[in-house]
Structures are given as C-alpha cells and as structure tokens.
Amino acid sequence: MRDDAAVLITSRHNPCVKRWRAWLEKGSVRRDADWALLEGPHLIEAALAAGWCIREVWYDETGASRHAILLDRLRAQHVTLVRVTAAVLTAVSDTTTPQGLIAEVAKPQWDVVHWGDGDLVIIDGVQEPGNVGALLRVAAAAGCAAAWLAPGSAHAWSPKVLRAAMGAHMVLPIFEGEVPDAVWQPYARERRLLATVLSSESRSLYSLDLTAPAAWVFGNEGAGVRPIWHERRATPVILPLAPGIESLNVATAAAVFLFEARRQRTARRDSVDRSHSPRSRDR
C-alpha cells in the first residue's frame, strides 16, 4: 500500500473520537444513528463486497502493515482513509485486541417488501447479543429471506451482535421493533407461523411438512415467546431431545429447525428435477 497519509487523529479528545465512543457506549445513540461501526477486516471486506456505503476507515500502524491490500482496495473505491494512533484506535474499539481497522458505514434501509418469499426468522426477546448474532448468522446460512428482531431483543447493530453474526448483516435484511398488524396480517396470510414452545400441544419438528416458506419465532431461553404469538395462532413446535436434556442454546436449536426446512425443500426440488429429467421421461 502506498502510505502517504499523515497521522490525522492523535488525541482521544478529538470530536470524531468522542462521536464514535458515544456510539460504542450508548445504546440510545446506536439506535438513533443511521450509521454503524464495523471493526476488523472481515466485516469491512463483507461490507465492501455487499456494496455498502463505507463512509470512512480509520487505521493505525498495525492496520497499515497487516491489511495493506484491503486498504488499497478501499482507496480505489474512494473511501476516506484516516490514519490514527494506536491509542486512538483502542479508544474507539470494542475488542480487547483491536485489529487495526475500524469503518463507519451507512446502515442499509430495508422495508417489509424485502421480507421476500423465503422463511422469516423472528427473534423475540433474545437479549444476549452473542445469541442474537449467532441467530442472524444461522438465518443467513440457511437462506432465510429476512430477520425481524421483535421488541426486547438485543440491538441488531451492537458491536457484539455484529461480531457474532460474522457478516450476516450484509446478506440478510434485518428489521427491528414492532410490526403493525396492518402490515403483519397480509404477510401472515401467506405464511405458516411456527413458534418454538414447549407445551403439551407442541408438535415435533420431524412431524412437520416444511416444504413451504414459514415464519419462525425463536424466543428468550428463559421466558419463551411472548403471548402475542399465541394470539396470532402460531403453531407450537419442539425439537425432540434425548432424556435428561431440557433445552438447547437458542441459536443451536434454530439451526436444527431451519436446516431441516432447507433439507426438506432441497429433497423436494431434487425429486421434481429427477421426475422432469429426460431419463425419467424415457422410462
């Protein structure tokens, strides 16, 4: 990398540093901001690949030496690069050992039409950021259409959620807050609503036909899903577990549910493809 930038920020009292620190430290600032911070090369590369608007990238000496190729790519895209001291980068980092790069990006703007035709994952009151991030990663890996973080869940754009999601934000439309019934009801008429609930009425995952897209509700591990999902007539489903095990981590359970749906749809699609192949027609 051609390193022709002077050290532009050296003080932790710089107004720009204070602005980023406020985002890190205050949930209210993060929720109101139309931007977010991405730390480390993996998330920045994912944002670049997704075509996100990267407003600027701060890097220190470590970042300049370890991530020279990425910085050259960013410079080629006319992203503003700001060289800072290691102390400044540490001040705006949420990790114990900063990776030398932090970017400010504009949050993508999605609306409900981006829920699409696939599965919708509803994260209902899951408060642990690592679990929320892992759920988003699972949803993206399973090919879901979108994720909706209902009230009471950890903020989708918190640093810990972003790290745990490992780039899921770049490929999965994510919504937060309550959805009005006027919006929800037309959507729900086209979807089966399934909620992971342990009750006498719960159906086993393996008894379900999951070949059509569904809306899945994954709730808080302790409190479960909110009563509103019962009012919306969600079908309660469970994952049959071996004796002596009461539950799984919510992200682990979600992976089993969502990939069983993916398996069924893949098997059905393969069966249809075989039935329409020339060899099948010649029999």
- Within the chain, residue ranges assigned H as helices are 15-25, 27-32, 41-49, 61-66, 68-76, 86-91, 129-141, 159-165, 181-188, 227-231, 250-275, 278-282
Amino acid type, 42: H
- Mean per-residue pLDDT pooled into runs of 10, the chain (283 residues): 65 96 96 96 97 97 96 96 96 93 94 77 95 98 94 94 97 87 78 86 93 93 83 91 88 96 91 66 54
Helical axes 129-141 vs 250-275, angle rounded to 10°? 0
Classify strands 146-150 and 120-124 as parallel, antiparallel or unpaired: parallel
CB 82 within 8 A of CB 58: yes
Strand partners, 120: 146, 215
Strand partners, 102: 39, 58
CA–CA dist 119, 191 (Å, integer): 9
CB 192 within 8 A of CB 203: no
Q: State pTM to two decimals.
A: 0.89
CB 261 within 8 A of CB 119: yes
Cα distances from 152 to residues 42, 220, 224, in angstroms, run: 28, 9, 12
CB 263 within 8 A of CB 209: no
Backbone phi, then psi, for 214, in 5-degree steps? -140, 165
CA–CA dist 256, 82 (Å, integer): 43
In this predicted structure, what is the pLDDT of residue 1? 42
